[in-house]
Amino acid sequence: MTLLKTWASQHPRLTAWGALAVGMVVILLWSAKDVGLLPTQLAALVIATILLAGLCVWIIGWEDQDDAANAD
């Protein structure tokens, strides 16, 4: 458990990406359960959702970079 906490503190963006992606995929699967999508369609949506979560974390990270640049 300590190893996991250490890794998460050393890689906050990857941790945020993973947490956001899990939450978004759970919501996606719950929302699409009665839609009748084909497995390939559902897989494509899951992949797109994971990539979208990474994009969101990356964009939010821009603010951190701006704050660090203004601090100098």
Residue 6 lies in a domain: no
pLDDT over threshold 70, residue 72: no
Query: Which tokens is 65 given?
Result: 């970079």
CA distance 39 to 51: 18
Do the domain assignments include residue 43? yes
58: in domain: yes
Residue 37 lies in a domain: yes
Which pTM value belongs to this model? Answer: 0.83
Whether residue 25 is contained in a domain is answered as: yes
Contact between residue 10 and residue 35 where contact means Cβ atoms under 8 Å apart: no
Domain housing 51: 11-67
Residues 6+ away with beta carbon under 8 Å from 62: none
Q: Could you tell me if residue 5 is inside a domain?
A: no
Between 39-71 and 12-31, two packed helices, what is the crossing angle to 10 degrees? 150
Q: For residue 17, what pLDDT is reported?
A: 97
Residue 36's pLDDT is 92
Is residue 19 situated within a structural domain?
yes
